[in-house]
Structure 1
Amino acid sequence: MKRLFLLCSAVFSAAALAGSAHAADAGPDSGTKLEFTTEGRAQGVPTLLTIRLFGHASNANPAQAQQILNRQIATAIKAASGQDGIEVRAGSYGISQEFPEHGTVHWNARQDLTLSGTDSVRLLAIAGTLQEQGLAMEGLDWSLDPQTRDHLMQDARKQALEKVRKDAQADAEALGLRFVGLTNVRVSTTEPGPRPMMLMAARMASAPTPPQSSPEEQTLRVTVSVQAKLAP
């Protein structure tokens, strides 16, 4: 009888321990899980203007075409460089041979040049000067400068995160449940790229005065995806 009692006690203890372990495992996962997203937005006017120009030279001799282009680009860089807050960058370079239906075969050399900065008035004036020197304008792009972008992104992120707990509590109340906590929080961002300003090719190539450009407001978005724990 004593041996049987001990065996039964051992079985009971094992069952009790198993039940306790099961209850401990089920505890954190019990209840209702609610998945939802919130969004924060911040709007700002683009502050960084990028002007895209290019130099072009044509000659029956490829070396001559390149020499003409190189002088043109060097002169343009010298005219635009050395001014505070304005970045001048020479871009892609290419040369190709053209076989016209009528006329002699010739070589075309081309190189891109970009100007960027937050002082749009000065930038457009410089672009006009470079056009007078023979460069052609290809387009204008408006975007957010890094400091403004970071500031707006922080505002949108804070707005989205502040809405998470409020939304979770409101949803729990609507469902007749109690908000317990949050888990699996994921944050993603969406921001617009440079916004080009379309210009007519003829005007870009030979405009006597620089074009005018006004930026349009852009919106940055931060989305927070989260899982909320609800309980009765």
Structure 2
Amino acid sequence: MKRLFRLATPLAVLSLAICCQARATEPQTTGTELDFTVTGEAHAAPTLLTVRLFGRVDSASAIEAQKTLNAHMAEAMKMASGVSGIEAQAGSYSLSDQTPEHGPTRWTARQDLSLSGKDPVSLLDLSGKLQSHGLMMDGLDWSLDSETRETLLRQARTQALQKVRQEADESARTLGLHVVRLKQVRVSSMEPGPRPVMLMAARAASDSFTPPQGTPQEQTLRVTVSVEAELAP
């Protein structure tokens, strides 16, 4: 028993020494902590217009409905590809049936098509031509292109960060303290989604279709900076 006791004593002392050393190295916060948030903003007119269209074909035959719709959409994509600066994307595709209580089953094939570009004149003109060829409009959305969005986010972030030190110093002086350091700084952004344009559009009865009008509304990007500061007398 004595031998076991002699071996255990140095281990216990060593364990206690390591524990005390670890506690001694832990950072001690003796000042006052201040949490606050500042926001930076950047504004710009939207630069990207997106037109949402769709093709729809009704038929007593599912195969005929799809065949006719596919032909219409292929023609629409071909027309769009011939216009510079416009990006066309074929969207979701669906086929549904409806059987009335008295009568044969009717099949409906539908597919979405979106057109995006920076030139609203050519974009709206193309959408009008596509409606003259049987497509229908689902809506217009204004937004920002990626390059403009990144530029505005940088501006908003810079503005918010410039407010941080001023806000911290003013708050510290009000409390009769001074800023020791900024312990944590967290940055987050709030971007607006696409802004829909309210409109009324009817299917054209002839090739002379007047395109819809869409007025862009200013877009605002916000960057929020949350700060944790340490204050002391």
Q: Which residue of 2 aligns with 1:14?
A: none
Q: Which residue of 2 aligns with 1:227?
A: 228
How many Å apart are 1:181 and its aligned residue?
A: 1.4
Q: Which residue of 2 aligns with 1:79?
A: 79
Q: Which residue of 2 aligns with 1:8?
A: none
Cα 1:213–1:32 shift into 2, 3 Å: same
Residue among 205, 212, 215 paired with 2:203: 205
Structure that is richer in helix per residue: 1
Would you say 1:140 and 2:140 are equivalent positions? yes
- Aligned-residue identity in percent: 56
Q: Which residue of 1 aligns with 2:192?
A: 192
Matched residue type, 1:205: R
Report if aligned partners of 1:138, 1:204 keep a CA contact under 8 Å in 2. Answer: no
Quote the Cα distance in structure 1 between the aligned partners of 2:26 and 2:94: 67
Q: Which moved more, 1:122-131 or 1:184-193?
A: 184-193
State the TM-score, normalizing by the size of structure 2: 0.84
Would you say 1:106 and 2:90 are equivalent positions? no
Q: Which residue of 1 aligns with 2:68?
A: 68
How many Å apart are 1:31 and its aligned residue?
A: 1.3
Q: Which residue of 2 aligns with 1:214?
A: 215
Q: Which residue of 1 aligns with 2:57?
A: 57
Report if aligned partners of 2:197, 2:215 keep a CA contact under 8 Å in 1. Answer: no
Unpaired segments ≥5 residues, structure 1 = 1-17
Write out per-residue CA displacement over residues 151-171 of structure 1, whole angstroms, 9 at most, x where no aligned residue.
000000000001000110111
Quote the Cα distance in structure 1 between the aligned partners of 2:114 and 2:103: 33
Report if aligned partners of 1:48, 1:142 keep a CA contact under 8 Å in 2. Answer: yes
**Over the residues paired in the alignment, what is the CA RMSD in angstroms?**
1.8
Write out per-residue CA displacement over residues 155-196 of structure 1, whole angstroms, 9 at most, x where no aligned residue.
000000010001101111111111211011111111111111
How many Å apart are 1:101 and its aligned residue?
A: 5.3
> Where do 1:149-160 residues align within 5 Å?
149-160=149-160
Would you say 1:176 and 2:172 are equivalent positions? no
Report if aligned partners of 1:168, 1:179 keep a CA contact under 8 Å in 2. Answer: yes
Matched residue type, 1:221: R
Quote the Cα distance in structure 1 between the aligned partners of 2:31 and 2:102: 81
Partner-residue secondary structure (3-state), 1:169: helix
Quote the Cα distance in structure 1 between the aligned partners of 2:44 and 2:60: 50
Quote the Cα distance in structure 2 between the aligned partners of 1:102 and 1:124: 42
Q: Which residue of 1 aligns with 2:39?
A: 39
Write out per-residue CA displacement over residues 185-223 of structure 1, whole angstroms, 9 at most, x where no aligned residue.
1111111111111223xx243483110001101111111
Matched residue type, 1:222: V
Unpaired segments ≥5 residues, structure 2 = 1-19
